[in-house]
């Protein structure tokens, strides 16, 4: 492998960010022929390389193994579509069947949610990141190119859905034949409807004993105004009628209108970080084509870059993962490949595409290493992970008590948990996550503070920066419009739950004879941690919930501190509504008492507002002697027990001389 530094304009922003990368050119064997591509090597990349150029890859079925020149593929025979649905209604399973039918993967019993490739996805059994695949499909004697995007179903990832559909002309709206329309079905339908896409309703799981496709068709007609004869009944699991879905995709979804003769115009709609390939941005072409050596411009930065290499990679059956549209490598927030950015040829400027509204973080939490000596490793892990997940916002922060940390913004609690899981599993990083907060606002009264901040209204994402009441005109809290769908047996219980969360009902109607859809305005803080869990458990799993931002409203907020033996614990500080302060303080003290292991001395757990203590619990002294039951002299057994105890300690955060389990900071916020 020949390696040489090249200070190419395209790479400069990235090189600045990661000074220890090298750019090299390598020869790469692909489908038996050697192609040269430019790669970046980084000292943390163990093997292989990543192409950093406009790379064209697409899958091929058995009959079309050779690379194709996409600029010659007739646009009339291309279909771009997303699969959208409520969580677990069968999107990924349907994608498996599509991959099999088109020969992209061999048909085997082990094909289960093949597009869910991330470890967290496989462990949780749900999609957290939209995935793309390109398939060749024979219809009426002609080959069609079907570009599909499998999207996540959970509300925290709905931003992935809206970005994905911006690259499509149609969607398959999957609805479970047993569960019927659920809250995310409604939310996803409106995303596609507002984008004016063709919507094909697909009723899945008709093989289930309790399937009632007729009822679901009626719901679809009533709620979405789609005639029921447009619905396709399938079983993605058994493959029933799946081919019919592909035929309808070809017939009903219009082809893209992009023309090869037009100036090159592309929207960066997603990006991923791959340990071997590096950063890959997915672009949707809105016109023209791009070639090696072309000078392209990122509308976001207004800077020209050269497309270094254009590589056509003939694909084997197993490499369907990157096979979608044209793929242009390199992305770092604010750099080329910035999601929502438009790329065009320098010699043919075009109007930038509208792009995307930035994802709005719903919850913020501080994150810092268990041990400050691990800070550099954690920084590198966080940087790589945010390349894969542009929905996470990152701000550096530091505090006297915690040292260097980050304030990370997430789209919800699940999003945050998934991010942490990635950190622990892929980067072996052990972190403490502080109590989370929603983005509150304060209208400042103090002229001094306004000058300091340069604005009158500030957003507070860290309780430590909560301004005192004497310095503000008012505090504002974020609100959301929540949609709940549930069988009417549970209406009363759900209403009581919503009232206890300071919610105001806006609407309620029947979507069929037994199911109600309710709309409530909630303070975001009331639903973000544990509302969904409570709703699910009180409705025996039948209720579903989705929400979207609904602006800000004035609120009486206060900052509450928690003290262990008189010492404030910064990780635990929260901002709460005045009306719930006492009950929240009491409940959190009780939960802290349960989650902090008893130690050799007594611990006072207190909740305080300013200098006033509003709740207190006491953890009695205790010493756990792990060797107590270990009679005799079996030294190996003793060593094992002591090692286990030491490992357990790694999960503890030492505050003063008190050990607190590292997950306590989030868990104590969950109401029972």
Residues in contact with ligand GTP by the rule CB under 6 A: 85, 87-93, 113, 125-127, 152-153, 204-205, 207-208, 235-237
Q: How far is the CB of 129 from ligand GTP (least distance, A)?
A: 10
Would the annotation count 256 as a binding residue?
no
Give whichever of 235 and 271 is closer to ligand GTP, judged by the CB atom: 235
What is the distance between the alpha carbons of residues 213 and 193, in angstroms, rounded to a whole number?
Answer: 22
Q: Report the distance separating Cα 202 and Cα 241, nearest Å.
A: 10
> Is 151 known as a binding-site position?
yes
Q: Is 154 annotated to bind ligand?
A: yes
Element housing 120 (H / E): helix 119-124
- C-alpha to C-alpha distance for 561 and 557, rounded to whole angstroms: 13
Token pair for 100: 């099999």
CB of 556 to ligand GTP, least distance (A): 38
Min. distance of Cβ 240 from ligand GTP in angstroms? 8
Q: Is 206 assigned a ligand-binding role in the annotation? A: yes
Nearest to ligand GTP of 196, 210 (CB atom): 210
Residue number, 100 or 590, with CB nearest to ligand GTP: 100
Nearer to ligand GTP, 129 or 384 (CB): 129
Q: Kindly tell me which of 90 and 439 has the beta carbon lying closer to ligand GTP.
A: 90
Q: Tell me whether residue 9 or residue 125 sits nearer to ligand GTP (CB atom).
A: 125
Q: Which residue intervals of 169-315 are DSSP H helices?
A: 183-194, 213-224, 242-252
Is 415 annotated to bind a ligand? Reply is: no
Q: Is 555 exposed, middle or buried (0-12, 13-18, 19+ CB in 10 A)?
A: buried
Is 152 annotated among the ligand-binding residues? yes
16 φ, ψ (degrees, to nearest 5):
-60, -40
Q: DSSP state, 1?
A: -
Contact 616, 589 (CB under 8 A): yes
Consult the annotation and say whether 92 binds a ligand: yes
Q: Which is nearer to ligand GTP, 175 or 498 (CB)?
A: 175
Read off φ and ψ for residue 230, nearest 5 degrees: -85, -10
Query: Considering only CA atoms, which of 322, 273, 270, 330 is closest in space to residue 296?
Result: 330
CA distances to 44, 45, 127, 155 from 190, rounded to whole Å, are 43, 42, 20, 13
- C-alpha closest to that of 570 among 405, 668, 439, 435: 435
Q: Which residue lies nearer to ligand GTP by CB, 178 or 219?
A: 178
Q: What token pair was written down for 351?
A: 């109007």
42 labelled ligand-binding: no
Strand partners, 39: 24, 51
- Shortest distance in whole angstroms from residue 90 CB to ligand GTP: 3
Could you tell me the smallest distance in angstroms from the CB atom of residue 211 to ligand GTP?
8
Nearest approach, Cβ of 130 to ligand GTP (angstroms)? 10
CB of 632 to ligand GTP, least distance (A): 50
Residue 150 annotated as lining a ligand binding site: yes
Dihedral (CA of 327, 330, 336, 337) sign: positive
Closest by CA position to 291, among listed 321, 259, 326: 326
Q: State in angstroms the smallest separation of the CB of 422 from ligand GTP.
A: 17
In whole angstroms, the minimum distance from the beta carbon of 182 to ligand GTP comes to: 11
* Of 104 and 442, CB closest to ligand GTP: 104
Beta bridge pairs of residue 613: 608
Whether the CA torsion 440, 442, 448, 450 is positive or negative: it is positive
Q: Assign residue 109 a region: left if phi > 0, alpha if psi is -120 to 50, beta otherwise?
A: alpha
Residue with Cβ nearer ligand GTP (113 or 434): 113
Cα 11 vs. chain centroid, distance in angstroms?
Answer: 27
Distance of alpha carbon 662 from alpha carbon 423, whole angstroms: 15
Smallest distance from ligand GTP to CB 82, Å: 12
The DSSP result for 146-211, as a single string, is EEEEE---SGGGHHHHHHHHTT-SEEEEEEETTT-S-HHHHHHHHHHHHTT-EEEEEEE-TTSTT-
**Min CB(207)–ligand GTP separation in Å:** 5
Which one-letter DSSP state was computed for residue 429?
Answer: -
Nearest approach, Cβ of residue 177 and ligand GTP (Å): 8
Burial class (CB in 10 A: 0-12, 13-18, 19+), 14: buried
Nearer to ligand GTP, 237 or 289 (CB): 237
Compute the distance between CA of residue 242 and CA of residue 419 in angstroms, rounded to an integer. Answer: 34
The residue among 393, 335, 403 whose CA lies nearest residue 370 is 403
Tokens at residue 240, please?
A: 């029933």
Residues 6+ apart with CB under 8 A from 289: 70, 71, 260, 264
Nearer to ligand GTP, 96 or 341 (CB): 96
CB 659 → ligand GTP: shortest distance, Å?
36
The angle, 0 to 180 degrees and rounded to 10, between the axes of the packed helices 183-194 and 158-165 is 30
Report the residue number, 91 or 300, with the smaller CB distance to ligand GTP.
91
Q: Which residues are annotated as a binding site?
A: 85-92, 150-154, 204-207
Q: Which residues are annotated as a binding site for GTP?
A: 85-92, 150-154, 204-207
């Amino acid at each position: 492998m020949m390696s040489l530094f090249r200070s190419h304009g395209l790479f400069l922003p990235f090189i600045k960010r990661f000074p220890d990368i090298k750019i090299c050119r390598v020869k790469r064997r692909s489908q038996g022929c050697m192609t040269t591509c430019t790669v970046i090597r980084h000292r943390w990349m163990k093997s292989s390389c990543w192409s950093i150029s406009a790379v064209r890859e697409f899958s091929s079925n058995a009959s079309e193994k050779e690379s194709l020149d996409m600029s010659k593929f007739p646009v009339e025979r291309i279909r771009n579509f997303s699969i959208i649905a409520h969580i677990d209604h069968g999107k990924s399973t349907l994608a498996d069947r599509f991959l099999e039918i088109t020969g992209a993967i061999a048909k085997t019993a082990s094909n289960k949610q093949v597009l869910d490739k991330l470890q967290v996805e496989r462990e949780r059994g749900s999609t957290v990141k939209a995935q793309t695949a390109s398939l060749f499909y024979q219809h009426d004697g002609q080959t069609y190119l079907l570009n599909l995007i499998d999207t996540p179903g959970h509300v925290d990832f709905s931003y992935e859905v809206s970005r994905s559909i911006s690259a499509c002309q149609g969607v398959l709206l999957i609805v479970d034949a047993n569960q019927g329309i659920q809250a995310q079905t409604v939310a996803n339908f409106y995303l596609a409807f507002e984008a004016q896409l063709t919507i094909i309703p697909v009723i899945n799981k008709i093989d289930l004993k309790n399937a009632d496709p007729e009822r679901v068709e009626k719901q679809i007609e009533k709620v979405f105004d789609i005639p029921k004869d447009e619905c396709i009944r399938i079983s993605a699991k058994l493959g029933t009628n799946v081919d019919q879905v592909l035929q309808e995709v070809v017939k009903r979804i219009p082809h893209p209108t992009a023309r090869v003769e037009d100036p090159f115009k592309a929207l960066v709609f997603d990006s991923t970080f791959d340990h071997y390939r590096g950063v890959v941005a997915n672009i949707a072409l809105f016109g023209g084509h791009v070639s090696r050596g072309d000078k392209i411009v990122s509308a976001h930065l207004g800077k020209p870059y050269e497309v270094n290499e254009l590589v056509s990679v003939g694909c084997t059956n197993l490499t369907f993962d990157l096979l979608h549209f044209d793929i242009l490598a390199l992305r770092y927030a604010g750099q080329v490949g910035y999601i929502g950015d438009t790329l065009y040829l320098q010699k043919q400027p075009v109007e930038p595409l509208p792009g995307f509204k930035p994802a709005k973080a719903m919850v913020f939490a501080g994150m810092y290493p268990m041990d400050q000596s691990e800070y550099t490793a954690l920084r590198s892990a966080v940087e790589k992970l945010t390349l894969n997940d542009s929905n996470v916002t990152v701000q550096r922060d530091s505090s006297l008590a915690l040292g260097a940390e980050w304030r990370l913004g997430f789209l919800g609690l699940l999003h945050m948990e998934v991010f942490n899981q990635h950190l622990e599993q892929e980067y072996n990083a052990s972190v403490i996550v502080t109590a989370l907060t929603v983005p509150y606002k304060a209208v400042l009264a103090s002229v001094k503070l306004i000058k300091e901040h340069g604005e009158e209204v500030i957003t507070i994402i860290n309780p430590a920066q909560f301004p005192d009441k004497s310095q503000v005109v008012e505090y504002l809290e974020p609100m959301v419009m929540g949609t709940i769908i549930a069988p009417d047996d549970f209406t009363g219980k759900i209403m009581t739950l919503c009232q206890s969360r300071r919610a105001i009902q806006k609407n309620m109607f029947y979507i069929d004879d037994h199911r109600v859809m309710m709309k409530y305005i909630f303070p975001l803080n009331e639903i973000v941690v544990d509302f969904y869990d409570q709703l699910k458990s009180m409705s025996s799993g039948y209720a579903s919930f989705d929400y979207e931002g609904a602006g800000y409203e004035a609120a009486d907020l206060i900052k509450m501190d928690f003290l262990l033996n008189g010492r404030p614990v910064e990780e635990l500080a929260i901002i709460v509504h005045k009306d719930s302060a006492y009950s929240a303080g009491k409940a959190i003290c009780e939960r802290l008492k349960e989650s902090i292991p008893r130690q050799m001395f007594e611990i006072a757990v207190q909740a305080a507002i300013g200098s006033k203590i509003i709740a207190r619990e006491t953890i009695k002294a205790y010493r756990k002697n792990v060797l107590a039951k270990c009679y005799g002299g079996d030294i190996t057994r003793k060593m094992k027990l002591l090692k286990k105890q030491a490992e357990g300690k790694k999960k503890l955060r030492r505050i003063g001389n008190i050990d607190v389990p590292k997950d306590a900071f989030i868990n104590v916020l969950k109401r029972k």
